Structure 1
Amino acid sequence: MKVAIYSRKSRITNTGDSIENQINLCKDYCKNKNIDETFIYEDEGFSGKNTERPEFKKMLDDARCHKFNFIICYRLDRISRNLYDFTNIINELDTLNIQFVSIKEQFDTSSPMGKAMMYIASIFAQLERETTAQRVSDNMLLLAKGGQWLGGQTPLGYKSKCKTFYNNSKIDKKTYVLSPIESEIRTIKLIYDLYDKKGSLNKVKDFLNENMIPAKSSINWTAKRVQIILRSPVYVKSSPKVLDYLSDNNINVFGNPNGHGILIYNKTKNITQKRDRSEWVASISDHNGIIDSTKWLQVQTLLDTNSRMPPSKGTSNRALLVGILKCSNCSGNMYIKHGHTLANSNIRILYYVCENKSKSKGKLCNNGNVRVDEIESALLEDINKILIDTSKLINSLFNTIKLKDYPLYSLNVNKEIQYKNIQIQNLLDELSLSPELSKHIKPKIIELETFVNNLKDKQLYRKIHLENNYLLNLFSKEKLNLSMFKDYITLEEKKYILRELIASIYFDEKNHSLEINYK
């Protein structure tokens, strides 16, 4: 008889029901049953809440290959603490004619009673796991309401410090509080001052990067990282108005305002899943706040106002290579920046600039800039020299980005029309308040209305041509027709074509070279 022994322990230790102890007890059971041939599977450091365990998966694969007749484990919950998983596993073993034995509970699926008792025990194992998890969660929330630091990545400006005290029973206890890091505290104050003056997350981000001011774990700042710091109540000196602001945002608030910072708990269920704000807990902490409550609330108002504004129309929507053009010096992304306006025209020159160079004012990279129109023209000419399987490209293009799906295109145009209509309405509101400005406002309204009408005309024109597969005629048998990149398809479609053809592009200003790696 061939037997598989399975052992599991959530944490790597030599105490309690260690892996070694589990295996030895299972081997003793095998000796008493005169079983000599065994396969051993060990998962150490893996939870029983699911079946994502390497040795466990290997054991099931071997079971499907009928390498053994029995699976033996020390205890039922070593297999799984999840009732659904456990039931599925036992049912599969049943179909494979493999019996299961738990030596601690003395369950054996070879008998109907043993199988029934095992299912009952698995229900209690899951109940125990869920009860323990709920108890831990409740205890964490209880500690949170007292304002303790419960661990994890500390916010910029603070480090975790152990604090020892004696409870009512005179037992030595430890807790953790946030302790200030003065150099980082200065950075926090600077961020609030900058945003209060500039009113822009990107401008604050650019200033921090240009002046090489380090973030918590990286030299590069992002607008999102700046926003997280500005939104965090950990820095505010708590006051009744701050607590009212948090309550108005449907957050549960605990503690009395005393000038200390505020910690937010229970924001997420796991790494990827956020909880609703009604489940958040905001508690007055033991650490001192560093931002005046009036200033913090002003910043929240400014953030709220800016978040409601229509997004500004950037320049990257006019560039083909944003996201695929890299710097040959540092492999950083190259993005769009405005240059000068051409003489005798209103056309502004655009450049691709290395992001690392721009953020650090040339300290991290010194690669030169390149004009958007020049590099894109050179790329398209190069593409037209190579042989392309146009039938494959057409199929990919139509199937993946759905060129024939007019509603998708129409949705994008409708968003643009909606954005322009908002601008028109804002100008009309301004005109009603200040009639004397009509000579300046009316021409702009007419210009926007003309633009909207052109969009609608273009939308209808495109619908007609898409229905007749007009785009198929833009491809020759062996080469791309470059006219398609001028007037006939959208920028997103042009970008998709380039991404289908090109693996990577690197620009080197020093050698005046463009390295194009085709797929």
Structure 2
Amino acid sequence: MKKLRCAIYTRKSSEDGLEQEFNSLDAQREACAAYITSQKHEGWVLLPEHYDDGGLSGGSLERPALQKLLNDIADGRVDQIIVYKIDRLTRSLADFSRIVDTLDAAEASFVSVTQSFNTATSMGRLTLNMLLSFAQFEREVTAERIRDKIAASKRRGLWMGGNVPLGYVANGRTLKINDNEALTVRTLYALYEQHGTVRAVKAVADQRGLRSRQRSTADGKRTGGGAFDRGHIHHILTNPIYAGRIRHKALVHEGQHDAIIDPDLWDRLQQVMQDGAAKSRARKTAKQPSLLCGKLFDETGDRLTPSHSKTKAGVRLRYYVSHRLIKKSGEAKRDGWRLPAQELERKIAHLLRLRVSDMSFIGTMIPNRSAEEIRAHHKALQTLSADGDTKQVLDLVVRIDLSPGELSITIDRVQFAALIKVDPDEIDPELQSITAPFQLRKRGVETRLVLSDSPGGLDEVLIQNIAKAHLWFEQIKAGRTLSEIAKAEGTTNGRLYQVVGLAFLAPDIIRDVLDGKQPLGLTSDWCVRHTLPSNWQDQRALIATLEALPADTRIAQNPTSDFGVYRGLFTKRGQSAVSGDTRNPRK
């Protein structure tokens, strides 16, 4: 008689009761073990391994025990799966189809103790499909009922959970004022009413030592308890809960809790903030709207205003420029920011896509979520990185603050919550800001912003000059003079003499340039103003130092006096002279 190795799989959707000595998983396993014993005459043998998923939904296959079971089936260690009910295995018709394909490929099967069917027959599969369709329908209807219940409760002004806002403590289905924290909230509103900017409020709040609430997550991690950042202050100033109201998605309802801030004052401050925000200046006919208009601010609190110029060919170039440079353009010694708009928008969007595509980002933004919920939210965010729509990504940004060496992005909690279909109050306001270091690369009057988490991009000018250097050096070795090459190329002898040195860069340095992975300071301007060593090892050591130098000072450094390295390269007629040094790449 052929022996059938049977593995029992158990699952429970919630974690309630799992701490009990005999829980639902134990009950399922006991029933399945008894059924296997009754089939002992058929050669059924119970395997000792336990495949138990506690606290995990059946709407996804991303379950540790189930994945281990499917791997064991694929490896030929299991012949049959035994479950208490089919919905313990999955509630999704699509997932069930994938499981059946895995079983068929391994010539395995499964049995439900309380439901009799055989997956080897077409009628059995039809029965299973019908059962699973109803299981999936029940799951979706339950989710709809929960959402409708939350919406109805919020319309009545009830508190439905999430992160309890600063100034309140949870009291059943409503909120109770915490007097000590409420004083902090009132102080922040009073400071904004007095100063009129979030930046000024933060500066005074830091001076007074105001601190956010310290929170503890389910895994014991502590957050908060530090100084308020601008994103958190902005959230407090715009949260209608402090006016005694409850927000549900785009709607705001009167709440049953007491207000910390007078509703009239709150409404007035919202109008002040809206009036102070820059309105979009992009015309309806504009082909390239400024997607970050009104959202960029520098270290002085000055807003960066969209501007543009045109080349001789009529090409329109967009920029974000510090407002003071436009307002007082005639004054001397005015410093400020002037950043290329399209590149800045692209790299900010890329940085956001990188962050939201990290599954740990969801777990940080929305604490105390199950693994199943985090995966569902992460899947919803994949549309941002899949379709490449820069506008959709930048709509998540409410504010960007620039300062030397650092960039801070404040995420719009309402937009972000709508994207992943959660309530905005569930998002931790202290974690809605993303900071990233950056450096500046200057070429002429243009300043490029290079984010640490975004690709630096190819330096086309440097690549072209390296190609020219190799071409010209080959012509020199063939016997042409500098003057002949310069005349044919429409350049000068001096320029050719500067550029041709790029032909002796180490191969790995050239490869990094072609891949866009070179240090920020390695530009054509830097190369022609500095004499590179002939030894490749020395080149690598010198170029490695560019990573540690501020980008705006790299070009300004004085070149070393090692110009003699290339002096022997040409005769007076510009012909090649070959060195005998085996370390020299010219050989």
For the aligned pair, the TM-score class normalised by the smaller chain equals 0.5 to 0.7
1:21 counterpart = 2:4: no
- Counterpart position of 2:299: 314
Q: How many residues align?
A: 328
Letter in 2 for 1:154: V
Letter in 2 for 1:234: I
- Counterpart position of 1:274: none
Letter in 1 for 2:14: R
- Counterpart position of 1:193: 190
Q: Which runs of 5+ in 1 are unaligned?
A: 163-175, 237-260, 268-279, 316-412, 428-440, 495-519
Deviations 1:182-215 (A, max 9, x none): 1111111100011111222233223333333231
- Counterpart position of 2:9: 6
Contact 2:110 2:119 in 1 (8 A): yes
Pairwise CA distance, 1:310: 6.5
Output aligned runs, 1:320-359, within 5 Å. Answer: none
Output aligned runs, 1:61-80, within 5 Å. Answer: 61-80=71-90
Contact 2:74 2:102 in 1 (8 A): no
Change (3 A) 1:115 1:492: farther
> TM-score, length-normalised on structure 1?
0.56
Pairwise CA distance, 1:232: 0.6
Pairwise CA distance, 1:488: 12
SS of equivalent residue, structure 1 residue 154:
coil
Aligned-CA RMSD value: 3.7
- Counterpart position of 1:36: 45
Pairwise CA distance, 1:19: 0.9
Change (3 A) 1:139 1:66: same
- Counterpart position of 2:131: 121
Change (3 A) 1:59 1:458: same
1:154 counterpart = 2:164: yes
In 2, Cα distance between equivalents of 1:263 and 1:70: 52
Structure 1 stretches of at least 4 aligned residues deviating more than 6 Å after TM superposition: 14-17, 445-449, 482-494
In 2, Cα distance between equivalents of 1:40 and 1:115: 27
Change (3 A) 1:135 1:419: same
Deviations 1:258-311 (A, max 9, x none): xxx11112x3xxxxxxxxxxxx33210112223233422332233334442463
Greater CA deviation, 484-493 or 184-193? 484-493
- Counterpart position of 2:331: 444
Change (3 A) 1:492 1:179: farther
- Counterpart position of 1:235: 242
Letter in 2 for 1:3: C
1:56 counterpart = 2:66: yes
Q: Which runs of 5+ in 2 are unaligned?
A: 215-224, 279-293, 301-315, 340-441, 448-458, 467-501, 503-522, 557-587
Pairwise CA distance, 1:148: 0.7
Pairwise CA distance, 1:17: 8.2
Change (3 A) 1:37 1:180: closer
> TM-score, length-normalised on structure 2?
0.50
In 2, Cα distance between equivalents of 1:110 and 1:442: 81
In 2, Cα distance between equivalents of 1:493 and 1:61: 57
Output aligned runs, 1:58-207, within 5 Å. Answer: 58-162=68-172, 176-207=173-204
Pairwise CA distance, 1:465: 4.5
In 2, Cα distance between equivalents of 1:284 and 1:153: 19
Contact 2:177 2:260 in 1 (8 A): no
Change (3 A) 1:64 1:283: same
In 2, Cα distance between equivalents of 1:73 and 1:118: 13
Contact 2:36 2:46 in 1 (8 A): no
SS of equivalent residue, structure 1 residue 288:
coil
Letter in 2 for 1:36: V
Pairwise CA distance, 1:108: 2.3
Change (3 A) 1:130 1:28: same
Change (3 A) 1:189 1:486: closer
Greater CA deviation, 474-483 or 187-196? 474-483
- Counterpart position of 2:266: 296
In 2, Cα distance between equivalents of 1:32 and 1:107: 17
Pairwise CA distance, 1:110: 2.7
In 2, Cα distance between equivalents of 1:19 and 1:491: 65
Q: Share of identical aligned residues, percent?
A: 25
Pairwise CA distance, 1:219: 2.6
In 2, Cα distance between equivalents of 1:74 and 1:493: 72
In 1, Cα distance between equivalents of 2:555 and 2:80: 58
In 2, Cα distance between equivalents of 1:492 and 1:77: 64
Contact 1:235 1:262 in 2 (8 A): yes
SS of equivalent residue, structure 1 residue 152:
coil
SS of equivalent residue, structure 1 residue 101:
strand
